[in-house]
Amino acid sequence: MAAPSATAGTDLPKSVQEMSINGSEPPQEYTVKDATFGSVESSPPLGSIPIINISLFLPSSSHDAEQVENELQKLRSALSSSGCFQAIGHGISSSFLDKVRGVAKQFFSLPVEEKQKYSRAVNESQGYGNDVIVSDKQVLDWSYRLTLRVFPQDQRRLNLWPENPTDFGDTLHEYATRTKSVVDLLYKAMAKSLDLEEDSFSKQFGDNTLMQARFNFYPPCSRPHLVLGVKPHTDRSGVTVLLQDGEVEGLQVLIEDKWVRVPIVPHALLVNLGDQMQIMSNGIFKSPMHRVVTNTEKMRMSVAMFNEPQPDREIGPVECLIDEKRPRLYRNVMNYGAINYECFQKGKIALETVRI
Ligand SMILES: O=C(O)CCC(=O)C(=O)O
Ligand SMILES: [Fe+2]
């Protein structure tokens, strides 16, 4: 019987994990063919990604007003230039962050058959598997991942939540609850940094925001100059909170048209602005293009938490950020997630399609 071919909506016959273990030459579906966003370079310069102490944004009378103002300015400047920053002072202990990394690694080190119990079904976004194939032209990512919706809680697909390790579910629940508080705090601080009412962004998100967790695994690859762990993209979220691998680098961000490496700050959470906050801020804040490179030696992992507005909410640029000098850049949109997915299938950039 002929081997099944790679068609839209299905996985390639061989998993990235198998290919990595066998040291096989990556098939051409995985090799980067054009250099639209620059060639694959594993070691560009280290980026100077700002480090921001977000505990200063918590309501407290003991903060020094000048320090708070400074940190708000740093936030505004980071988000309007690189579009990302390293958050410290988030209140989540290093040991708990290690636990999150730990349960993820334990799950990924289970035998393939065990993990396949949680496989993502065709045309579904949640579950375990290789990169989702949506078009024949797509260059595939050298990764495997587990994607789970955590909030709203009644939308959890618990049959896809690993039972092994046994504390996976509780750990994910707690981590998502903590990161949700972090993003709620950030939406307020972002508004304040632009001299807006503090609920200007959060009220657009609604009370039932989506929180999606994605556990990314990047096994070693024999051709790091040709194959990416994740191709260049911007996140469709409002904000993404990324827990990087504690030891292995790989993430790169495009700043002023140049790729830079994102350093590992083990206790920090990398906050990436997503497309939907770029829309709401009328383009003042930037949703950065980023990618992940592979390496020949070491496995890398990361845990991305994507926070998005309720899909039935219309979002758009905050009125106070529109004036003669800065006319409205984006139309109001609903369910940007669906727009983004459709664009991805057609090879279009979603943000461009909602631009006026
Ligand atoms: O693994 C990383 O560092 C980044 C992953 C990422 O960009 C994503 O999951 O959207
Ligand atoms: Fe991303």
CATH of the domain at 71: 2.60.120.330
3-state secondary structure of 146: strand
Is 285 within a domain?
Answer: yes
Q: Any residues with CB less than 8 A from the CB of 224 and at least 6 apart, and which?
A: 40, 42, 293, 294, 295, 296
Ligand whose nearest atom lies closest to the CA of 215 = 1
Domain count, the chain: 1
How many A from CA of 208 to the centre of ligand 1? 24
Instruction: Report yes or no on 17 lying in a domain.
Output: no
pLDDT of residue 35: 65
Between 88-102, 300-314, 334-348, the lowest mean confidence (pLDDT) is in 334-348
Pocket test for ligand 1, best of 240, 272, 290, 307 (most atoms within 8 A of CB): 290
CA of 325 to the centre of ligand 2 (A): 31
Q: Is residue 5 part of a domain?
A: no
16 within some domain:
no
Identify the residue with better confidence: 168 or 344. 168
pLDDT tens-digit series, residues 279-313: 999 999 999 999 999 999 999 999 999 999 999 99
Percentage of the chain surpassing pLDDT 90? 78
The finding on whether 290 has its CB within 6 A of some atom of ligand 1 is yes
With a 6 Å cutoff on the Cβ, whether 303 touches ligand 1 is no
Average pLDDT in the chain: 92
Question: With a 6 A CB cut-off, is 230 part of the ligand 1 pocket?
Answer: yes
In this model, does residue 11 exceed pLDDT 70? no
Task: Find the range with the poorest average confidence among 24-33, 145-154, 305-314.
Answer: 24-33
Q: pLDDT at residue 36 above 80?
A: no
pLDDT at 131: 83
Q: What is the pLDDT of residues 53-78, one digit of tens each?
A: 999 999 987 889 999 999 999 999 99
Contact, 259 vs 253, CB < 8 A?
Answer: yes
Strand partners of residue 272: 84, 240
Evaluate whether residue 15 is within a structural domain: no
Q: Check pLDDT > 50 for residue 4.
A: no
- Domain containing 45 equals 27-353
Indicate if ligand 1 lies below 6 Å from the C-beta of 235.
Answer: yes
Q: Is residue 119 part of a domain?
A: yes
Question: What mean pLDDT do residues 134-142 have?
Answer: 84
Residue of 251, 271, 307, 340 best suited for mutating to test ligand 1, as the one with most atoms within 8 Å of CB: 251
Assigned domain for 22 exists: no
Higher local confidence (pLDDT), 308 or 23? 308
Q: What is the ipTM of this complex?
A: 0.99
Residue 14, domain member (yes or no): no
pLDDT band at 116 (very low <50, low <70, confident <90, very high): very high
pLDDT for the residue 38 = 66
Ligand 1 site, residue 231, Cβ cutoff 6 A = no
